[in-house]
A and B are shown apart, each in its own frame.
Chain A
Amino acid sequence: MENAFHFQVNLGGMLDILSNHLYKSPDVFLRELLQNAVDAITQRKILQPSWNEGEIVISLNHGTMAFTDNGSGLTEEGIHQFLAVIGQSSKTDLINGTFQQGIEDYIGRFGIGLLSCFMVSDSITVHTRHISDKRGYIWTGLPDGTYTLNPAPPEVDFPVGTTVILKAKPGTEKYYTYEQVEHLIQYYGLALPVPIRFQGQRDKINQIPENFVQTSQTQLLGFGSWVFGTNFLDVIPIHTKHLDGAAFILPYETSSVVKGGHRIYLKQMLLTESGDRLLPSWAFFLQCFLNTTGLRPTASREDFYEDEALEQAQREFTLEVSQYLNRLSQQEPELLRKIVHIHFQAFKTIAVWDEDMFRLIFPYLPFQSNKGEITGEKLLKTGGFPYVADLNKFRQLKSVFLSQGKILLCAGYTNDEELFQKMHYIYRFPAFPLKEQDLYDALQEPTLDQRDAASWLVRIAGQSLEKFQCGAEIKQFLPVELPALYITNDDDGVFRKIQNAKQTANEFYSDIMSSMLDSIDGRNVATLFLNMNCRLIKKLCSQKDADKVKSVIRILYVQALLSGGFPLQERELRMMGRELLNLVGEDSYDF
């Protein structure tokens, strides 16, 4: 028979783990207290259905905090069971089937929340009286894992409910000030349905609109401004099975990497500021105040558990935003234009993912062309254009096209190429990747004088590139700094592909690749266009040293390949090195 052993648990070490590794900051102790208090009030409501006077009162006095709720309280048995056993929660019982009624109404479930108070206090004292008891109990827990439990003195009349008393640890005094507590209550518990007050004050610390859908837009924007400190562009009320609240549209451009800044609550208790799990990746133009129901928190209660319900909530959110944008497009197109203009990156992401949204948003989206910004609407009206997906290539070619009065689109920014492909797919709109022929058409012929001046250079260049089956021609184009452009003559660059394949081909393919190459031997498969507007090319025209000119031309050839985004072959890399050596006076090579 196998021997069974028990793990030894070091409570002090475990508290350290919980305090310093599970929770992000000591702030959460207040969240845990709020959570336990609201759950106790919920439990009392279940036990006393006609009772509806739940409240939380906080008293602060020189480094001491008394956090009181008038919920169901704990029995003696309950204290041993729930305050002293990690992983045991009064709510766990409910989950395990002991008490199933109303499980969805409870916030917590892990039974470790109270331990977070050790982050700000060296002791936790709990005064509690269960709704069914005549007397209360005093429980005191210490971080070393020991605790005491005593009945309340007969002369002390504990009301039904629970008070947690904390005393500031050195360095945590700020958590015992009115300002900080109010801030944290509004941060974590703003959406809680239970009124929270300071002792002796009538005003509630927490208050939000009762119904986001029925609240006026002005009031919602005012609420958003109060919570987030921003005057938003517009607001989208959200009301679905899992979500309730509002998504505020930021008035300034933001980045897709920004995931924080939201207020996302689970059952009215703040869960996270990060929209990373709940919100779609394109939602970075929104700042959300959302209460969620039916979703599961992780153990740290700092994010959502990824499950089917979370995915459903994401879909619901997407649908709400889509419907809002749809409405804008029909009723307030100018506002939509303004929003898309500010948040075009977010909207491009939306358009990539969602075909319906693509159709809706595309006309408003801005794109980069060599003639400046151009909207999707204009693109659709004016006809088809070539695009380049490489930003460097676009920069290299835009002036060349501009000098010819032709439009070249840049698809080098995030999502643009996908959108052009989608545009082709949906509208059959001919936005097509730049073909070599388009490029060829954009180059200007040299003057007759320039042609004369360059004839020797062109001949030398042709000789120096013969091995690469690349011809040389003189043209003039912009920018003047660009000395040469490499353009393949075959439609799809098949020749270079075969050359590339031959480099790595095994014995079975090597001969076949050679045969394919042999079939086009004797004709150039590419052309290096030398720019007569460029000083370097002009200078080369007047050079006398043919070898040096050949070296420069070969280097320009490799440079043109690189700037054109062509993968370099080994022999071209080797040649580059050799020619550079040649230029600095080492000519001990044979090429």
Chain B
Amino acid sequence: MSIIEVKNLSFVYGIDTPFEKKAVEDVSLSVDEGEVIGLIGHTGSGKSTFVQMLNGLIKPTSGQVLLAGRDIWEKPKEIRNIRFKVGMVFQYPEYQLFDDTVYKDISFGPRNKGYSEKEIDEKVRNAARFVGLSERLLKESPFDLSGGEKRRAAIAGIIAMDPDVLVLDEPTAGLDPKGKNLLLAQIMQYHKQRKNTIFIVSHSMEDISRIADRVMVMNKGRLEMLDTPRNIFAQVEKIESMGLRVPQITKIMMTLKERGVNLPDGILTVEQAFFEVVNLLKKEGKI
């Protein structure tokens, strides 16, 4: 069943002023429960505006967002409830930490949601476990944590609200490779257990191709492509014409194919590439 359905969604900034700008234009799609959707597009393509319409932070100029079949703006006064169902992690979320302990900070969302103390405690500890924050750290001030820990504490604050849909805007921006890989692994582990729907915005095509079931490509406010990573990244030219890149390994394999080497389309990871190359060598009896 589709958990989120977006119908002809548009948003225009500064209507009736000289600065009028269409940020999102006529986007429609439907996302199934448990899917991981990667969202790519260069800066200014409307990605951020689009994801902020999913949890009602921005009200669409026209079109609808249906969550489990119901328009999220059906009762505008209760829009706050939507934000607990569609959890949103902004870029550099560590800049939103404010309470005196990590525990209290993570509990901010669940408390707003109206959970009982017992439930809050359970949700906070679960969320902390998902992102790999130890019990000891929960008592610390969030401002004393390392950069990577702060990031994970902030993400835990959203996970603790137990949303059905989790939106992550560039969760790994600014982290080093070690921190990045760790965080991605934790998010995927969480997804595996909780089985909820995830939208992940990223500039790293390598990351997107590794974790997404389907990829949305946005360009100039429009949804240009929506398909599996394999099919999306097979269209190197189209992707590059929108100022985006494909993963390096995909590019290498595609170029080889163009030069007449017998390789399949849309190879996304080094492991796949290695597998295909070895296969080919075996077939030709070179090894």
Do these two chains really belong together in a complex?
no
